[in-house]
Amino acid sequence: MKKIRKENKLVKELIDQYGVKTTDDIKDMLKDLLGETIQTMLEGEIEEELGYSKYNYDEKNTQNSRNGYSAKKVRSEYGEVELNIPRDRNNEFKPQIIPKYQREITGLEGQIIALYAKGMSNRDIEDHLKNIYGVEISPTMISKITDKILPEIKEWQTRQLEEVYPIVFMDAIHYSVRQDGIVIKKAVYILIGINLKGEKEVLGFWIGENESSKFWLNILNEIGNRGVKDILIVSVDNLKGFSEAIKGSYPNSEIQKCIVHQIRNSIKYVSSKDMKEFTKDLKTIYKAVTLEQAANNLLHLEDKWGKKYKAAIKSWNDNWEELTTYFKYPQEIRRIIYTTNSIENFNRQLRKYTKTKSSYPTDDSLSKSIYLSIKEITKKWTGKVQNWGQIVSQLSIYFDGRI
C-alpha cells in the first residue's frame, strides 16, 4: 500500500508540474520524461566509457576526453524527442541506448522496421501484425513507416569516413527492380574497408543499372569527398576497367585481383576430362611461396596446356601484375587480400535477408532492405582482424609514411 501511495503522489506531482489537463498534455509530459531519461542514460554511458564523471578530473585516467555534444532528433510514440549526444575527442564513444544512426524509438513502428530488416515483405508483415497483435495495417502504411528511415540512410551514406584504410574490398551484388513498368537487373555496389584499428566497416552501398568501371570511379570519387585520402591495398574481382577506375582516384593504391575469380574464369575453358589435372597445375602458381616460383610455374602451365587452352592461360599473362601483388607480403596479409571472399561472404548474408523478395518496386525499397540488412549483419562485427597488430606494423613498413 505504501508503494502505491508513493507512486500516486509522484504522478500527482508530475500532473501539477506539467499542468496536465488533456491527453495531449499527458503525451507532452511523457515525451519530456522520455527525453530526460534517455539524456541521463547517455551521460552515464559516456561516463562509463571515459571512466570519470563530468568535471571530476581527479578520477581521469585516459588521454580521451569529452568533446561537446551533437544535436539529434528521434521519433517516439509521444512525438519528436530532442537529444544532445555526447562526443569524445577520439571519436570512440558509441551510444547504446540510441545507436548512432537510429532515428526511431516507437513501439509498433520499431517492430515493423525490425520485421522489414529480417527480410519480410510488406504483405508478410501485415499478416504477422494481424495474427500476433490483432492490428491491421495496410502494406501501403507499412511502406510509409519504413520510408521514415530514408533520411537515416542518407545520413549514413554521406557520413565522414576515416582518412586512411589499409585494405578495401570492392564488389557488386545484383537485384531485380521494377522500373517504368518492367523488371530490370540492377547492381548494388558495395565497399567494405578495414580501418587502422583492424575493424571491418561498410563504407557504403550504391545502386546502379549496370556494373561498370565508370560507376565505380564515381563511387571512389565520392568516398574521397567524404574524407578518404588514401587506400593502401584494394582487393577486387576481374571487372574490365576496374584498375583504371582505382588509379583514377587513388593512383598510389596497390591492386590485388581476386585469385578465386581468376581460377573460375580460367577453368570455364577447360574440358571436364582435363579439369582435375589442370586445376592441380594452376594451384602450383597461386600457392607458390615466391613470385619467381609462381612465374616459373606459369611458364610450365603454358608449355603443357598452352596449345589446348590458350584463352585460359592468356588471362593469367594479361593480368599477371595485379594477380600477384600479394606475393610481396607475408602470409598474414596474403590470406586477407588474395581473394574477395570477405565481401562475397557479406553478399551471401545479404541474400539471406533479402531472398524472400523476388523483385523490388523501387530503388528506395531496395535501399531500405539493403541498409537494414547491413545493420543486422554488422551487429556481429565486434572483433578485429586476427593478428592485426602485427599486420599493421608490417604495412607501416611497406607503406612508409602513409600510415
Q: How do residues 243-287 score in pLDDT, each as one tens digit?
A: 889 999 999 999 999 999 999 989 999 999 999 999 999 999 999
Instruction: Verify that 120 and 238 share a domain, yes or no.
Output: no
In a domain, residue 207? The reply is yes
**Domain assignment of residue 157, yes or no:** no
In the predicted model, is pLDDT for residue 49 greater than 60? yes
Average pLDDT in the chain: 87
212 and 130: one domain? no
What secondary structure does DSSP assign to 252-275, as a single string?
T-EEEE-HHHHHHHHHTTS-HHHH
For residue 206, pLDDT over 90 is answered with yes
Of 55-59, 169-173, 339-343, 395-399, the one with minimum mean pLDDT is 55-59
Q: Which of 101 and 81 is assigned the larger pLDDT?
A: 81
pLDDT of residue 304: 95
Same domain, 128 and 46: no
Grid cell listed for 54: 563530468
Q: Is residue 10 domain-resident? A: no
Inside any domain, residue 9: no
Q: What pLDDT does residue 76 have?
A: 77
Tell me: pLDDT of 18 over 80: no
Is the pLDDT confidence value at 353 over 80? Answer: yes
The per-residue pLDDT for 3 is 45
Say yes or no: 328 and 344 in one domain: no
Task: Check which CATH number belongs to the domain holding 181 and give it.
Answer: 3.30.420.10
Residue 313: the pLDDT is: 93
In a domain, 278, yes or no: yes
Question: Within this chain, do residues 330 and 346 fall inside the same structural domain, yes or no?
Answer: no
**Residue 374: pLDDT band by 50, 70, 90 thresholds?**
very high
**Are 39 and 125 in a shared domain?**
no
pLDDT confidence of residue 2:
46
Percent of the residues in the chain that have a pLDDT greater than 70, as a whole number: 95
pLDDT classification of 1: cutoffs 50, 70, 90? very low
Query: What is the distance between the alpha carbons of residues 402 and 231, in angstroms, rounded to a whole number?
Result: 9
96-100, 199-203, 206-210, 335-339: least confidently modelled range: 96-100
Let me know the angle formed at the C-alpha of 218 by 374 and 187, rounded to the nearest 5 degrees: 45
Range of the domain at 202: 162-258+340-403
pLDDT for res 214: 87
Length of the chain (residues): 403
* H-only helix segments in 99-176: 107-117, 122-133, 139-147, 150-157
Q: pTM of the entire structure? A: 0.74
Are both 118 and 203 inside the same structural domain?
Answer: no
Higher pLDDT, 324 or 355: 324
Residue 388 located in a structural domain: yes
Q: What's the rounded Cα separation, in Å, for the pair 376 and 267? A: 36
User: Domain check: are 138 and 197 in the same one?
Assistant: no
Per-residue pLDDT reduced to its tens digit, 118-143: 778 788 888 877 776 566 778 887 88
Whether 311 and 284 share a structural domain: yes
Which of the listed residues 278, 312, 335 is the one where a domain comes to its end? 335
Confidence of residue 4 (pLDDT cuts 50, 70, 90): very low
> Higher model confidence: residue 10 or residue 343?
343
Judgement on whether residues 140 and 117 belong to the same structural domain of the protein: yes
Candidate from 41-50, 56-65, 180-189 with smallest mean pLDDT:
56-65
Mean pLDDT (whole number) for 304-313: 93
Examine residue 178 and state whether it is found in any structural domain, yes or no. Answer: yes
Using the predicted structure, report yes or no on whether residue 14 has a pLDDT greater than 90.
no
The answer on 291 and 362 residing in a single domain is no
**Contact present, 173 and 188 (Cβ < 8 Å):** yes
| Mean pLDDT confidence for 384-396 | 93
Question: In this structure, is the dihedral angle defined by the CA atoms of residues 291, 293, 299 and 304, taken in order, positive or negative?
Answer: negative
- What is the number of structural domains in the chain? 4
Q: What pLDDT, on the 0 to 100 scale, is given for residue 12?
A: 79
Strand 164-179 with 79-88, pairing: unpaired
The helix (run of H) or strand (run of E) holding residue 203 is strand 200-208
Identify the sign of the CA torsion 375, 376, 379, 383.
negative
Q: Where among 95, 118, 140 does a domain terminate?
A: 95
Residue 276, pLDDT score: 94
Decide if pLDDT at 56 tops 50: yes
Tell me, yes or no, whether 368 and 233 share the same domain.
yes
Say if residue 8's pLDDT is above 70: no
Residue 288 lies in a domain: yes
